[in-house]
Structure 1
Amino acid sequence: MTPDPVRQHLQSLPEPPLSDELWLRLSARHQRRANHRRVLRGATLALVLGIGTLWLAPWTPSGGNGPSRTHPATTTSPDTSVQAIDRALQAAYARGASDEEVAPLWEIRQRMIVEQPASSTLPPLSATGEST
């Protein structure tokens, strides 16, 4: 491969002198980029920690299956005791309880449902939340 005479000539030229103002601008730009990278790293770390916290935190659904926090079940509600047993069962299953641990709760729940008077049972709710 033969060297290009133009390229040889350009490489043989000395570096041009740079003004002090240019060095100050280059230094300031370098500092801004470093600060920008530092802010991006901090924001990324905060985002990852936030997502990790949400992902690892226990999730409790706030669906309509149980009494709401704003309107707790009253003592006149016939299902109050059954709902308490249901919550205990859910908590047991959530912590990975064995069948031997949850069997007594199921027996108590079954007895409570059988012993309830027929007049106190509530009509079933449809998928929209209205009585059928």
Structure 2
Amino acid sequence: MAEPELNLRSLRLGALPEFDPPADLWARIESAHQRRRRQRGLLRWGGALAACLALAAVFSLAPTSPQTDPLLHAEQRSHELEQLYAGLAQPLSPLESEAELRALELALQQAYDRGAAPTELLPLWQQRNELLSSLIALSADGAQLTRI
């Protein structure tokens, strides 16, 4: 099948009226084009700035190392001591020491629930670590704790 030849008669473009564009048309097209390029550039810079801010937020929220954060160090030390204490064959601890440990844990939980500052939490963790250390030492020696 032969394709019809495209010419002005078949398209009837010759019947269209002549069009003379306004003299400032190219200037308006060029300014619109420049404006869109500037907007795209601003969007790119804005996107890059937003990505940088997001990365900065992620890095600022990243956990600190235990060497630089005393609260984190105390929490990790407490976890280690708790593992040691749980691993003892026959922990020999008096009931009042166990009750003191539970009271400290309750105080810690209440402090976290109300959003306490690290200055309030650190002494509680230190007390818990000291109590766990003494319970481990007592269990290791087979001694009994006597309070007067």
TM-score range normalised by the length of the shorter chain? 0.3 to 0.5
The structure with more helix, counted as a fraction of residues: 2
TM-score, normalized by length of structure 2? Answer: 0.40
TM-score, normalized by length of structure 1? Answer: 0.44
- Name the structure, 1 or 2, with higher relative contact order (CA <8 Å, separation 6+): 2
